Amino acid sequence: MLKVAVVRFPGSNCDEDALRAAELVGCEAFYVWHRETSLKGAEVVLLPGGFSYGDYLRSGAIARFSPVMQAVSEHARAGGAVVGICNGFQILCEAHLLPGALMRNAGLSFVSKPVDLVVERTGTVFTSAFTKGARVRVPVAHGEGRFVADADTLAMLEGEGRVVVRYAPAGPGVEGNPNGSVNDIAGIANAAGTVVGLMPHPERCVDAKLGSDAGLPFFHSIAAIAAGAAR
């Protein structure tokens, strides 16, 4: 059974949803406290959403120096799967495991609503269960989700196909980019597709009884990683 660690920081608040989503697709999921230095044999690391350390200084800026992040970095550099959702994405950027940064939403407001995404890259640990170009409606809930990167980094991300999900263009019934992210970027990956960060919350829509299970394919993608293969 694939082992999935959900890292808990002080201020994480999507940890239980992330754990349950991983369990729903048949993974063995467990929590790892931010002060731990070992991932306890996990093959996949999930950095959940929330407000680690109260978002003090910058979102993710302090969490990135938590003891556990050393182990997460080593896991990522060894080719292990790491997925950061919302605050987890902010932490991955602060930790330089993904390029760019997430700044205050262009409209200044905290945005909490469903958004429509286009899956641009399926060759990642979090999107392999999608077909390229698939549309999926998933909630966002963030105040600092505007992805920015310098021109060279942006050209590299686009040129190497490392944009994983993009906000769908505005149209009938579709509101479009909710935060002013450059190139409508909602999520990116490292070159290998083993480290993925995204602002939307697929773990919040994994059960049709609670409104939607549109986020399940993200977790089926994780479950599709063969146990032992991601280390």
Q: According to the binding rule CB under 8 A, does residue 107 interact with another protein? A: yes
Does position 108 bind another protein by CB under 8 A?
yes
203 labelled catalytic: yes
Shortest Cβ distance from residue 219 to another protein (Å)? 30
Q: Which two three-digit tokens encode residue 130?
A: 């999608």
CB of 162 closer than 8 Å to CB of 70: no
Q: Is 158 a catalytic residue?
A: no
Q: Exposed/middle/buried for 119, CB within 10 Å: 0-12, 13-18, 19+? A: buried
Residue numbers 111-140 binding another protein by CB under 8 A: none
Task: Give 104's Cβ-side CA count (13 Å radius).
Answer: 4
Tell me which of 14, 86, 93, 205 is the catalytic residue.
86
| Site pattern 157..186 for another protein (x: CB under 8 A) | -----------------------x------
**9 in the Ramachandran plot: left (φ > 0), alpha (ψ -120 to 50) or beta?**
beta
Of 24 and 103, the one with the shorter C-beta distance to another protein is: 103
Residue 189 burial class via C-beta count within 10 angstroms: exposed 0-12, middle 13-18, buried 19 and up: buried
For 163, counting Cβ atoms within 10 Å of its Cβ (0-12 exposed, 13-18 middle, 19+ buried), the class is buried
Cα gap 166→134, rounded to integer Å? 11
Active site residue 86: yes
Cα separation values, 105 from 1, 11, 147, 171, 191, Å? 39, 20, 9, 21, 26
Q: Does 231 bind another protein (CB under 8 A)?
A: no
Q: Tell me if 226 contacts another protein by CB under 8 A.
A: no
With respect to another protein, which residue has the nearer C-beta, 24 or 148?
A: 148
What letter represents residue 155's amino acid? A
Task: Give the interface segment with another protein, choosing from 25-33, 39-47, 141-149, 195-203 (CB under 8 A).
Answer: 141-149
Q: Which residues pair with 115 in a beta bridge?
A: 138
Binding mask 35-74 toward another protein (x if CB under 8 A, else -) reads: ----------------------xx--xx--x---------
Of the candidates 100, 145, 202, 215, which one interacts with another protein according to CB under 8 A? 100
Residue 78 is a binding residue for another protein (CB under 8 A):
no
Q: State yes or no: residue 106 binds another protein (CB under 8 A).
A: yes
Q: Which residues participate in catalysis according to the annotation?
A: 86, 201, 203
Residues that bind another protein (CB under 8 A): 57-58, 61-62, 65, 93-94, 99-101, 103-108, 146, 148-150, 180
